Amino acid sequence: MTTGLMKSSLTSNKLYRKCISKPKTHPAHIRYVKYRNIYNKLKQIAKTTYYANQLNTFKNDSKNMEFTKDWKNNDKSGITLHFKHSNAVIKDPYQISNAFCNFFTNVGPNHATAIPLSKIKFTSYLQNCPKHNSNSMFMSPTDASEIREIIKSLQPKKSTSHDNLSALVIKLFGEKIAMPLSILINMSMSEGIVPDELKIAKILPDHKSNAKDDISNYRPISLLPSISKILGKVIYKRTLHFIQTNKILNNKQYGFREKHSTINAIIALTSDVIKAWENKDSVLSVFLDLSKAFDTIDHQILLYKLEFYGIRGTPLKWFKSYLSNRKHYVKYNNSDSLQRDITYGVPQGSILGPLLFIKS
């Protein structure tokens, strides 16, 4: 993207924010629509010019001919129309979507069962943690003001889950739905129940690399209902406050925390290495890459640990409801698969997922 287009994109977003709560006949909305249409045309021209230049660059370059071939042979939607599956080639969109769904559903359980059983129970490792927390978490009620702020923080995306309700629509009606949403979310917290409709994810397969007709070369993009994201943000705020207040997280937990990143980990590692060198000690470092880490979390172990950390009673009941009876389905080429149960892992695409992962 050129510098000019980037500036135009920022201007378009600013105009959008000014007109989001105004009717279509308002001058601000009309101004935004005109600017957006011109911007989209310029963006399309820039995209076409870029690919034309790429094709011209690669036409005599045998090493990059695959790029040219793929770009020319791709259909307009970029959809692969056939896949190799179970020693056969499937072309029917419904069969393809179900094949994807079966594959994504089994990834977590297959990886989890492949992990060798430890002779040591997981509870033994909790002995090295701070003592059993005697404080219990309380989910304080929310209100319309908090819900309003959460809605404002949502990205104005048009994508939807199974409920066909986009974040963009929710933002448009945020002022009107904030109060009833706060009432429903308070009921969820007080009763410890998460509605099943909020636990259904729509999965879009996204090609990673290698052969496009191989289902295993795709990763799932999970789209959760926008209402569930609002509920998740409310619970996340209260859970994080409880964890931080009771100092449950290890100081050396750098991932999935605000104001922490890999930079903190690098600084800590470098500091330890320098100290070891100064003391003329040997240095040994072990780096691990956990395959499908989010997908292999055992729900019962996670719930046990949450109780150990102080999430008990109704809050624990809420998390048990949140993790249980989750389902997903795959949408591919406008065809929906059957829904399948999710029995392992933390919800992908959710704000609570990473927080639950580091406490698992």
pLDDT in tens, 275-325: 999 999 999 999 888 888 888 899 999 999 999 999 999 999 999 999 999
User: Between the CA of residue 39 and those of 3, 168, 204, 266, 349, what are the distances in Å?
Assistant: 13, 20, 28, 41, 30
At residue 84, does pLDDT exceed 50? yes
Compute the distance between CA of residue 26 and CA of residue 82 in angstroms, rounded to an integer.
Answer: 47
Instruction: Please name every residue paired with 89 in a beta bridge, in sequence order, or none if there are none.
Output: 84
Cα separation of 286 and 8, whole Å? Answer: 46
Bridging pattern class, strands 335-336 and 340-342: unpaired
Does residue 33 have a pLDDT over 90?
no
SS3 328: strand
Per residue in 123-133, pLDDT tens? 887 776 655 67
Higher-confidence position of 61 and 164: 164
pLDDT on residue 76: 43
What does the pLDDT read at residue 64? 53
Rounded distance between C-alpha atoms, residue 118 and residue 202, angstroms: 35
Average pLDDT (159-179) is: 92
The percent of residues above 70 in pLDDT, for the chain, comes to: 91
pLDDT of 147 strictly over 60: yes
Cα radius of gyration (the chain)? 25
Q: Is the pLDDT of residue 190 over 90?
A: yes
- Angle CA 155–233–18, to nearest 5: 30
CA-based nearest residue to 54, from 67, 41, 45: 67
- The phi, psi pair for 243, rounded to 5°, reads -65, -45
Could you give the CA distance from residue 344 to residue 24 in angstroms, rounded to a whole number? 45
Closest by Cα among 291, 296, 287 to 357: 296
Residue corresponding to tokens 């599956």:
85
Poorest-pLDDT segment among 3-7, 93-97, 197-201, 327-331: 3-7
The predicted pLDDT at position 130 comes to 59
- Name the band, by pLDDT with cuts 50, 70 and 90, for residue 60: low
Confidence of residue 72 (pLDDT cuts 50, 70, 90): very low
Q: For the ranges 57-61, 85-89, 254-258, which has the lowest average pLDDT?
A: 57-61
What is the rounded average pLDDT for all residues in the chain? 86
What is the tens place of the pLDDT at every residue in 194-207?
A: 999 999 999 999 99
pLDDT of residue 68 exceeding 90, the answer is: no
pLDDT at 65: 47
- For residue 222, the cross-strand partners are 203
**Where do the H-state alpha helices sit in 22-166?**
27-58, 65-73, 93-114, 122-125, 144-153
- Give the model's confidence band at 74: pLDDT under 50 very low, under 70 low, under 90 confident, else very high: very low
The answer to whether residue 193 scores a pLDDT higher than 80 is yes
- For residue 240, the model assigns a pLDDT of 93
